[in-house]
Amino acid sequence: MTTAVEQQLIDAQTMETWESTTSGRVWLQTTTYTRHGQPLVKDISVGPNKVGAKIKISTADREMNQEQVADERNDPFRNGLLVRVDKDQQQDPATQSSEAIPAKDLLAIFGKNGNAFHAAVNKLGEVPLRRLRAMADEIDATAKQVEYLDDRIQTYRNARSQEDAVFDLSGERRPDLEHPRNEPRE
């Protein structure tokens, strides 16, 4: 068994630096050790309104957080909410993702016009698309670019509402079952 000091040295050698790309709050769990070497799990958060804030966590803590995510779309290390800055994120199979796009690459999309802009935006997933839309307000993007981004975001909303729809056994949609706050059936 390793001592608390040895464990902290091991963790320090495997630290990763991640940057927040959202103005929302991202919660993570990290492990610290008592002076007796007993692990303590501690909740930490990044945000709100801290776009660009950096956080250092150990590889073991990142893996622990990734194991707790039920759906891969909600993994902040893969969906673009956190982007690795100390090393290329795409080289690690546990963190590589098409959603994790650095801000400078997203800003370069605004330099494209017409079909090139549309093609670049169409390749983006929902999280980078929302980040791009937030950047559009900050850099005064053209009205056509903002309108196109809003339309693309709306397609994600429509697709999600279709996924969440509840159907009965005959295949007919049951709107009364879609939301828990609906009136109880009689």
- Give yes or no: residues 87 and 105 share one domain: no
- Give yes or no: residues 118 and 75 share one domain: no
Residue ending a domain, among 97, 120, 139, is 97
Whether pTM > 0.75 for this model: the answer is: no
Q: How far is CA 182 from the centre of its chain?
A: 30
Band the pLDDT of 4: cuts 50, 70, 90. Answer: low
- Give yes or no: residues 78 and 142 share one domain: no
For residue 39, say if its preceding peptide bond is cis, omega within 30 degrees of 0.
no
Report d(CA 139, CA 182) in Å as an integer.
42
In this prediction, residue 70 carries a pLDDT of 83
Of the candidates 57, 141, 121, 151, which has an alpha carbon nearest to the alpha carbon of residue 95? 57
In this prediction, residue 6 carries a pLDDT of 61
**Residue 89: which domain range?**
15-97
- Give yes or no: residues 91 and 113 share one domain: no
* 182/81: higher pLDDT: 81
> What confidence tens digit (pLDDT) does each residue in 131-181 have?
888 888 888 788 888 888 888 888 876 665 555 544 445 555 555 555 554
Q: Confirm whether 182 is domain-assigned.
A: no
Asked if residue 85 has pLDDT above 50, the reply is yes
CA angle 150, 156, 157 (to 5 degrees): 85
Q: Confirm whether 72 is domain-assigned.
A: yes
Q: Confirm whether 151 is domain-assigned.
A: yes
In this prediction, residue 184 carries a pLDDT of 47
Q: Are 121 and 129 in contact (CB under 8 A)?
A: yes
- Give yes or no: residues 69 and 40 share one domain: yes
- Give yes or no: residues 91 and 118 share one domain: no
Please count the structural domains in the chain: 2
Residue ending a domain, among 78, 97, 116, is 97
Asked if residue 76 has pLDDT above 50, the reply is yes
Mean pLDDT along residues 77-84: 79
> What confidence tens digit (pLDDT) does each residue in 35-73 have?
888 888 888 888 777 777 888 888 888 888 888 888 877
